[in-house]
């Protein structure tokens, strides 16, 4: 299990797990747009004049419910998007299957929990901090392994 033909292959359980969680997290991240839109319509908070559905409305940028979802969405961009590329490169370093699949699951589940406790039902800290850190730590670990593999 060392050639690219064997690594980037759906019969490789590491690659399969990477692809599964990447697909799930793409759907989850894209879902934030619907969550934002639903909050915008619920609170009638629109950022562009052409979006206003009534002449009585004005553009608004400070609704706390809209802004909360937008912060969660930005947090996804900051944390999930780097995982997409580093998870792929980590797969190419031919890691232990058990460790790699565990790391992908940690990132996938932790980021779903992060969204739930941040933007769906607000749960007191440290729920968000812990879920954020679980995915962050796993991603940093993979990135360090990737750098070490490429450096030596």
Minimum distance from residue 3 beta carbon to a copy of itself (Å):
6
Q: Write the interaction track for a copy of itself spanning residues 1-20; mark x where CB under 8 A is met and - where it is not.
A: --xxx--xxx-----xx-xx
Minimum distance from residue 138 beta carbon to a copy of itself (Å):
11
Name the region of 94 (left: φ>0; alpha: ψ -120 to 50; beta: rest). left
Query: From the list 60, 63, 84, 95, which residue makes contact with a copy of itself (rule: CB under 8 A)?
Result: 84
The size of the chain, in residues, is 152
Which position has the token pair 């799930």?
24
Q: Is 146 in the site for a copy of itself (CB under 8 A)?
A: yes
How far apart CA 24 and CA 22 sit, in angstroms, is 5
Whole-angstrom CA distances from 108 to 5, 24, 80, 81, 83 are 25, 8, 9, 12, 10
Minimum distance from residue 129 beta carbon to a copy of itself (Å):
9
Minimum distance from residue 82 beta carbon to a copy of itself (Å):
5
Whole-angstrom CA distances from 51 to 44, 64, 115 are 10, 19, 26
Instruction: Report the chain's C-alpha Rg in angstroms.
Output: 19
Q: Is 106 in the site for a copy of itself (CB under 8 A)?
A: no
Minimum distance from residue 65 beta carbon to a copy of itself (Å):
12
For a copy of itself, give the closer residue by CB, 20 or 99. Answer: 20
Q: Which letter, b or e, does each residue of 68-91 get, where b requires 16 or more Cβ atoms within 10 Å of its Cβ?
A: bbbebbebbeebbeebeebbbebb
Query: From the list 44, 73, 112, 116, which residue makes contact with a copy of itself (rule: CB under 8 A)?
Result: 73
Q: How far is the first Cα of the chain from the last one, in angstroms, to the nearest whole number?
A: 20
Contact footprint for a copy of itself (CB under 8 A): 3-5, 8-10, 16-17, 19-20, 22-24, 26-27, 29-30, 32-33, 47-48, 50-51, 68, 71, 73, 77-79, 81-82, 84-86, 88-89, 92, 122-125, 128, 136, 139-140, 143-144, 146-147, 149-151
């Amino acid at each position: 299990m060392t050639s690219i033909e064997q690594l980037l292959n759906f019969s490789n359980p590491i690659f399969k797990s990477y692809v599964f969680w990447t697909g799930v997290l793409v759907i989850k991240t894209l879902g934030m747009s619907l969550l934002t839109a639903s909050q915008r319509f619920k609170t009638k908070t629109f950022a562009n004049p052409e979006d206003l559905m009534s002449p009585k409305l004005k553009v608004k940028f400070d609704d706390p419910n809209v802004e909360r979802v937008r912060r969660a969405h930005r947090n996804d961009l900051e944390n999930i998007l780097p995982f997409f590329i580093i998870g792929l490169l980590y797969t190419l370093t031919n890691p232990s299957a058990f460790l790699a699949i565990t790391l992908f699951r940690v990132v996938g589940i932790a980021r779903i929990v992060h969204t739930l406790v941040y933007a769906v039902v607000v749960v007191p800290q440290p729920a968000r901090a812990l879920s954020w850190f679980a995915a962050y730590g796993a991603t940093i670990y993979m990135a360090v392994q990737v750098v070490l593999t490429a450096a030596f």
